[in-house]
Amino acid sequence: MDDTSDFLFADELPDTVSTEKDAFLEQVPWKVLVVDDEEEVHSVTRLVLSDYHFGGRPLEIISAYSAQEARQVLKQHPDTAVALVDVVMETDHAGLELVKSIREELTNTRIRVVLRTGQPGQAPEETVISDYDINDYKDKTELTATKLRTLMYSTLRSFRDITALEASRRGLEQVILSSAHIFEITSLQRFASAVLLQLTSLLNLSENAAYFRVSSGFAVTRESNGYHVLAGTGNYEPMIDTHSQPTDLPDGVFQALELATQERCNQYFDDHMVAYFQTRSGQEHLLFISNAGRLNDLDRQLIEIFCANVAIAFENTHLKDELEQTQQETVYMLGEAIESRSRETGNHVKRVAEISHLLALKAGLSTETADTIKLASPLHDLGKVGIPDAILNKPERHTEKEWEVMQRHVGIGYEMLRTSNRPVLRTAAIIAQQHHEHWDGGGYPNGLKQEEIHIAGRITAIADVFDALSSDRCYKPAWKLDDVLSLFHEERGKQFDPNLVDLMMDHIDDILFIRDRYQDNQQPTLVPTPPTS
């Protein structure tokens, strides 16, 4: 890595974050709603519970003086743990009607509801407990200070356990949804990004996550002398697609990765975590997430379930990625062989592929379609294998008869590719046949125009001509950029799709980045992230 390693980790939260988190959670109160039309009841309840703590957390007493007011309060505070409700208020059964409203209208099943009455005969205990979804029924005369505090223990403990079960259910649902999402992704880099995103989301299950967990992290593949960064978020985004050495990472980060690799399992720390995956072929993948917070048992169980699913998907995605890379390399080698035969050397086919991919994405095509065009476009001139050398490499202008022979390469390439059932080769057949068609109908071989020309052919035509003009050829030196752009301005709406020409102009910096990255007669180099347009 370069000097950027000095600032990649500059915005990390301090080591005190876990202490601050624990201190904050200890101050988050349990909300207790007192619903009674007598002010004295509110005062006494506050007095008795003024110093009460459960699980290290205090109480927040909220008052409502009627059932109607209580409904509004519960809408504003759906996380209320306990409601102490008087039966007789604005009506003889106001409290009972409030209970029904809480369970049925507000659909709040977590809150623990305790009815308190000074007139037991008005609402017989057995009938009330049988007919209403309450958790306890108390006569005000028997509810001493000690019994009230004891009541708080039982109701808050019940609320805490129910809340934990609901969190577990939500977490499992999110694990299932997250796993289903990543199984749909086929690119290893996009897969790593999705896993990183979903794991970060799982870490934010806590109700207080938004306050504490502004997480960032990265996904890496283990190499013999370091790590290849596949994906990154937050502070680690600049690391994407770099190869990091141990000295490039802060001690704590490197040591955490090494420990997970040695133990071959997930590692949890006070303010970060490392998830570990290994494929059957032995390749190791790790996810590092900072500011993960101190995870409880439920968090860890959910993460372990998620990681078990991800490990299977990593294996499948890795194998598919290897096959696709092999396919892509084969296509590039075949395309380069054609270029070499016409005495064109270098990385022309790679540049055409990358520029085509960029334009496809900017044109709003799906990632899958853009990937297919990227893989297919290097075969646009495959038919040149059937053109005699004397015509293919003639430095002078072709005669009319020679030009007719030269034009046959589109048909030859199409016939060679059209019988395949593979999406990439089917697209390559279309590109081979149509990349010399013109938007105004003046091209060959079939004089197609505008939307009659497949989008893949229109895109590859622009990528091919731009790179051909910008590069040295056996019959000409490279054109200056201004001259290339002038030609595209002139041919906008004539030879080329005007919308695609506009996209090319809008993203010319990205295209020039591709040209510089894949210069002729050299291997692609790792360079900084291209400019965003």
Phi, psi for 223 (deg, rounded to 5)? -115, 175
Residue type, 37: D
Nearest Cα neighbor of 86 from 115, 52, 56 is: 115
The Cα-based distances of 236 to 193, 219, 271, 290, 307 in angstroms read 12, 9, 16, 10, 21
Q: Which residue has the tokens 């017989």?
A: 124
Looking at 191-344, which runs of residues are DSSP E strands? Answer: 216-223, 226-233, 243-244, 267-268, 272-278, 284-290
DSSP 274: E
What is the full DSSP assignment across 124-178? -HHHHHHHS--SEEEETTT--HHHHHHHHHHHHHHHHHHHHHHHHHHHHHHHHHH
Q: Is 429 left (phi over 0), alpha (psi -120 to 50) or beta?
A: alpha
Give the number of other CB atoms < 10 A from CB of residue 168: 14
449 labelled catalytic: no
End-to-end CA distance of the chain: 25
Find the catalytic residue in 320, 362, 384, 401. 384
- C-alpha 52/C-alpha 49 separation (Å) is 5
For residue 496, count other CB atoms closer than 10 A to its CB: 23
Active site residues: 384
